[in-house]
Structures are given as structure tokens and as C-alpha cells.
């Protein structure tokens, strides 16, 4: 019989304290200095206000008028297929106006990458009735593309079920979000029409 290898037991191995450990004196001093800096920064008055788009008049987005342009995301299409909803008819029923689904080349590329599981969503996206947007940036990450388009022009309603993308779009003022929930489309933050 062969001799078994002897290995050290887990608890017997010596433990070393890392350089960034909070228990070391030098790291305690650094943490205190950073806390003091944050307090000083918090006490300063902010004089610069970020520039707001001219299409936002008070709380209303005046650029958002029918026919609505709806930027469609990959998972919105897949949820629509799962719930067996017709895309255009359901959008028009939700918004009570004419809608133009807009699909960017990034979303198309993402759907093609996902493979045969999403072939029905891809077939819906390839429909001739929808508007196409050419993307001129590097990469095919659709979320960044959608957020970038919404920042540049406030004429879009974003259709997505992606939690992270919703969080990013909510930070942009005047851009409503549509998602699929409970077998229908739900709209978030659609502003009321301004009174004349």
C-alpha cells in the first residue's frame, strides 16, 4: 500500500493580517481622515445646478406627444411573448394613442445572441411596421444604448422589465417607463397633459 499524503489541517495554518485590515493603526487614522473630509464636503453649499432639458417645462415633458415613440428592450419583448400579448395593440390600449415601437440595432443583436429560445421575440422585433434605430457606438449592450438615447432626447417612452435599466431611466427626468405586469402593460410616470 502507498503512503497517504499528509496535508495541514485548515485550522493549523497561520493567519496573516492583510495590509488593508481595519484593526491596524495606520488604517484607523486613514478612516478618521476620510470621515472628516466627508463632513467638510457635506457642510459646503452647492452652487451649481445641473442643466435641465428645455423640453421639460416645469414638471411636464412637452416633447412627449402622440404618436409616442417607444424604445423597446429585449426582456420587454420576451415578457410580451410569454404573456401572449400583441405588441402594438396592447401599447395603443395602454396609452390611448398611436404608438411607434422603436427597436435599436443593439436590441436586435442582443435577441440574436440569446439564441433559439427567443426566436419568437426576434420574429416580432423583425416586423416591418416597427421603426429601426441605427447605433453608431462600440459594443452591443442595449441598456447603455437606451439610457444614452433617453439622455440626448426626451421624446421616448422606455419599454423594459429590467430592474437595473428601470432604476437608471428613473434618474432621467421626464422619461416614462412601460413594463409587463399581470398579463398587461403598466405605465409609470406618464405626465398629465399641461393645462392651457
> Is residue 85 in a domain?
yes
CA angle 156, 162, 164 (to 5 degrees): 95
* 112: CATH: 3.40.50.1010
Could you report the per-residue pLDDT of 59-111, keeping only the tens digit for each? 678 888 889 999 999 999 999 999 999 999 999 999 999 999 999 999 999 99
Are 188 and 177 a contacting pair, CB within 8 Å? yes
Residue 116 lies in a domain: yes
Query: 33 lies in a domain?
Result: no
Cα–Cα distance, 159 to 109 (Å, whole number): 17
For residue 117, being part of any structural domain is answered with: yes
Q: Distance between CA 77 and CA 180 in Å, rounded? A: 9
Report CA-CA distances (Å) from 67 to 4, 53, 100, 115: 77, 21, 7, 32
| Structural domain total, the chain | 1
Residue-wise pLDDT for 162-186, tens only, equals 999 999 998 888 899 999 999 999 9
- The range of the structural domain enclosing residue 174 comes to 65-188
Whether 15 is in a domain gets the answer no
Amino acid at each position: 500500500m502507498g503512503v497517504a499524503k499528509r496535508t495541514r489541517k485548515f485550522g493549523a495554518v497561520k493567519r496573516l493580517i492583510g495590509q488593508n485590515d481595519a484593526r491596524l493603526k495606520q488604517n484607523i487614522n486613514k478612516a478618521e481622515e476620510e470621515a472628516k473630509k466627508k463632513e467638510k464636503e457635506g457642510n459646503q453649499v452647492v452652487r451649481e445646478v445641473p442643466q435641465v432639458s428645455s423640453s421639460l417645462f416645469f414638471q411636464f415633458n412637452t416633447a412627449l406627444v402622440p404618436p409616442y415613440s417607444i424604445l423597446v428592450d429585449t426582456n420587454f419583448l420576451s415578457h410580451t411573448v410569454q404573456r401572449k400579448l400583441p405588441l402594438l395593440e396592447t401599447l395603443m390600449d395602454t396609452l390611448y394613442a398611436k404608438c411607434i415601437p422603436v427597436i435599436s440595432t443593439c436590441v436586435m443583436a442582443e435577441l440574436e445572441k440569446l439564441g433559439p429560445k427567443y426566436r419568437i421575440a426576434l420574429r416580432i422585433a423583425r416586423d416591418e411596421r416597427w421603426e429601426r434605430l441605427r447605433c453608431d457606438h462600440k459594443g452591443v449592450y442595449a441598456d447603455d444604448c437606451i439610457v444614452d438615447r433617453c439622455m440626448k432626447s426626451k421624446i421616448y417612452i422606455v419599454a423594459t422589465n429590467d430592474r437595473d435599466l428601470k432604476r437608471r431611466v428613473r434618474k432621467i427626468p421626464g422619461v416614462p417607463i412601460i413594463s409587463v405586469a399581470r398579463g398587461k402593460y403598466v405605465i409609470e410616470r406618464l405626465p398629465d397633459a399641461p393645462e392651457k
